[in-house]
Amino acid sequence: MEGMRIVLAGQPNSGKSTIFNAVAGYRAGTANFPGSSVSYTLSRAMVLGREVNIVDLPGIYSLTSTDAAEREALTYLLENDPDVIVNVVDATRLGRSLELTLQLMDLGKPMVVALNMLDEARRKGIDIDDRALAASLGVPVVPTIGRRGQGLKVLFREALRAGLSQIVPASPVYDNEVERAVAQVERKLEPAWKAEPVPARFFAIKAIEGDPEVIERLRTRVPGIEVIVEQAAAGLEKAHGWTADQVVSGSRHAVAHEIEDRVAVFHRGRVGWREMADRVLLHPVTGGPLMALILFSFFYAVFGLGKHIEDPLVAMFDGLGAWVASVLPPATLAGTVAKGVVMGVSGGVAIVLPYLIPFLLGLAILEDTGYLPRMAYILDNLMHRMGLHGKSVVPLMLGYGCSVPAVMATRILESPRDRRITTALTVLIPCSARTTIIYAVVGAYMGAGWAFLVYILNLVVVGGLGTLLSSRMKGRAPGLILEIPDLRLPAAKTLLAKTWLSLREFIVIAWPLLIGSSAVLGVLEWAHGSGVVNELLSPLTVIVLGLPAVVGVTLIFGILRKELTVLMLIQAIGTTNIAAALSPAQMMTFTVFVVFYIPCVATIAVMLREVGWKDTTWISAMTVVIATVLGVAVRFAFALF
């Protein structure tokens, strides 16, 4: 079969993306929290000398979706007719994972189970007989340790074989009454079900479980089916005394745990550092202060490290700039373009990278240890006061890296209202680009304390705005329901790969943009074009914010990429020494304004896709208003004190 499509499906955090990356190269984000992938990733890969397509799906707990990320995975499975399903199972959560496996088996596709995380299972004292598991399920089972690449060759060989043979697993058999009810609905569907990729049985089960989307879908195919479904469900309820959905899922639960009991032996696991660490990290008294300490140290370490690297680099590039200016006088067109290019290059190397690299590494560590869901747990009651709940902490924290994946990550929130509010707040969080600005302007010239103040101010605004928006929107999610994965030591290789993935984005996309923009600004200056822009913006920049007129054009470039504001500023004032052009009050005003004002184009694009143009418009407009108000406030606060 040419271009066979192998789809990785499984519960969240089971290691799908890790296995995908092992064969496709690091391109799908991995992290130690449920919901690290919220969209599917497709890649071509060579498996045993054959070219295949491999698809990494977002994690799903079951085939009934509770949030947008799960919906995406589900839609993919139902609409795209995969050739093989590789069900990645976390061996330390075998019973629960099998509940999904049983549902996947009803999709009527060839299937292979990857029994992953065997190293963790061993540590926890869980022994699983993979042959017995394969026999119980009637599906090939391959033991794997995704993180070390163990077992993956065998896994994909089995997947290929399953794809070529197209042997479909037998449907699992549930409780007698459930089977009777399913058969009742299935019989009605059968005549209309010719050459469908997904068998009628799957939809019959989902309909009896009361999935409204499925019932609607069946109704258009077989009018009147909802009556039969209702009869079947009522019969189940009468026989068991529980609602039909509970009977079906309870029956699946029972079957899954029966299999687990048969194939797994639990020994006494070791109580290791993970349990000890969790005791203090989540302790009612120590948990909160420790979190503050962790975040503060993170902030300080990045700043200290960045500053150490930045200073000598800036000195060096200033020397280079002076030399270029002496060879090619800035008054000529060639000179002004050369100056622009040097500034673009040096801005990237000397100002952005020193902070960006340690920052991305630190963030990767937070993600891979599994600390993010713990923050969601600790901050849940605070978020409740804002009218959201703890899960929103995950996208917000990711926002410190980059707003684009952070806006995508709001897909893990169950209620559309929480998603909209969290999206609005996420874009206000200073992403790594804005962090560079805070560090390189306020931090470097005014001191770390002032930089810290910008973050605190930001959090206060986010908190206030969140409370305001929450009080005006209805439809709050019932509360926090979040799996807390075990703590894990991050693998150095993954950390580096992940940092590199974000860094490459900067180098390939942002940097050329920086250099190009610098050259454009050079030409603009030479032609006195930037003066016109500055003039037009001066009511805002000069009169309202009290900044020098030269910042005008930098704010326009900043919409492309936030880093551009500082880099363009340096170029406009002709030196990397920002203190030469801005007073401390102006630095603070400028930084605060830039942190809050309009999201960059990439963020606007992703917002348009995720929340639609209406929300995108009011959120963007709101950021400009907030930025202006705060900018003025900072200006006058400095004037007064």
Partner 1 sequence: MKGAWMTTLERIEIGRRATVVEIVGGAGVRNHLNTLGIHVGDTIRVVERAPFHGPVLVEIHGTRVALGRGVARKVTVTEGAEAARTGGPGSGRGYR
Binding residues for partner 1 (CB under 8 A): 61-62, 64, 66, 92-93, 95-96, 99, 124, 126, 172-176, 178-179, 210, 240-243, 245-255, 257-259, 282-285, 287, 373, 376-378, 380-381, 384, 389-390, 414, 478-486
Please name the amino acid found at residue 141: V
| Residue 227: how many other CB atoms lie within 10 Å | 10
> CA geometry: angle at 404 spanning 402 and 406, to 5°?
75
Tell me how far, at minimum, the Cβ of 115 lies from ligand GTP, in Å: 10
CA 307 to chain centre: 29
DSSP state of 402: -
Measured torsion, CA atoms of residues 310, 355, 336, 560, in degrees rounded to the nearest 10: -170
- In the bound state with ligand GTP, the residue whose beta carbon lies nearer, of 18 and 458, is 18
Q: Which of 6, 13, 202, 404 binds ligand GTP (CB under 6 A)?
A: 13
Q: Which of 21, 32, 37, 517 binds Mg ion (CB under 5 A)?
A: 37
Q: Which of 12, 169, 552, 631 binds ligand GTP (CB under 6 A)?
A: 12
Q: Which stretch binds ligand GTP (CB under 6 A): 117-125, 206-214, 314-322, 610-618?
A: 117-125
Tell me how far, at minimum, the Cβ of 59 lies from ligand GTP, in Å: 2
260 is an interface residue for ligand GTP by CB under 6 A: no
Q: Where are the alpha helices (DSSP H) in 80-199?
A: 94-105, 118-123, 130-137, 152-165, 176-189
* From the list partner 1, ligand GTP, Mg ion, none, partner contacted by residue 124 (C-beta under 5 to 8 A by kind): partner 1
* From the list Mg ion, ligand GTP, partner 1, none, partner contacted by residue 18 (C-beta under 5 to 8 A by kind): ligand GTP
Which token pair is 30?
């991995």
41 is an interface residue for Mg ion by CB under 5 A: no
Kindly list the distances between the CA atom of residue 630 and the CA atoms of 285, 361, 557, 564, in Å, as whole numbers in the listed order.
Answer: 35, 31, 21, 21
* From the list ligand GTP, partner 1, Mg ion, none, partner contacted by residue 405 (C-beta under 5 to 8 A by kind): none
Contacts of 324 (CB under 8 A, 6+ apart): 338, 339, 342
- In the bound state with ligand GTP, the residue whose beta carbon lies nearer, of 60 and 259, is 60
Please name the amino acid found at residue 114: A
- In the bound state with ligand GTP, the residue whose beta carbon lies nearer, of 117 and 553, is 117
* Touching ligand GTP, residues 508-527 (CB under 6 A): none
* From the list partner 1, Mg ion, ligand GTP, none, partner contacted by residue 32 (C-beta under 5 to 8 A by kind): ligand GTP
Residues 422, 410: Cα–Cα separation, whole Å:
7
Q: Which stretch binds ligand GTP (CB under 6 A): 8-16, 400-408, 430-438, 461-469?
A: 8-16
Q: Encode 185-221: b = buried (16+ Cβ within 10 Å), e = exposed.
A: bbebbeeebeeeebbbbbbbbbbbbbbeebbeebeee
- In the bound state with partner 1, the residue whose beta carbon lies nearer, of 181 and 337, is 181
151 is an interface residue for ligand GTP by CB under 6 A: no
Residues 36, 30: Cα–Cα separation, whole Å:
6
Tell me how far, at minimum, the Cβ of 70 lies from Mg ion, in Å: 12
φ/ψ bin of 138: left (φ > 0), alpha (ψ from -120 to 50), beta (otherwise)? left
Kindly list the distances between the CA atom of residue 295 and the CA atoms of 291, 432, 455, 573, 616, in Å, as whole numbers in the listed order.
Answer: 6, 15, 11, 34, 30
From residue 34 to residue 73, the character string flagging contacts with ligand GTP as x (rule: CB under 6 A) and all else as - is xxxx--------------------xx--------------
- In the bound state with partner 1, the residue whose beta carbon lies nearer, of 347 and 373, is 373
Query: 272 φ, ψ to 5°?
Result: -105, -165
Tell me how far, at minimum, the Cβ of 138 lies from partner 1, in Å: 12
Q: Which residues bind ligand GTP (CB under 6 A)?
A: 10, 12-18, 30-32, 34-37, 58-59, 116-117, 119-120, 145-147, 368, 488, 494
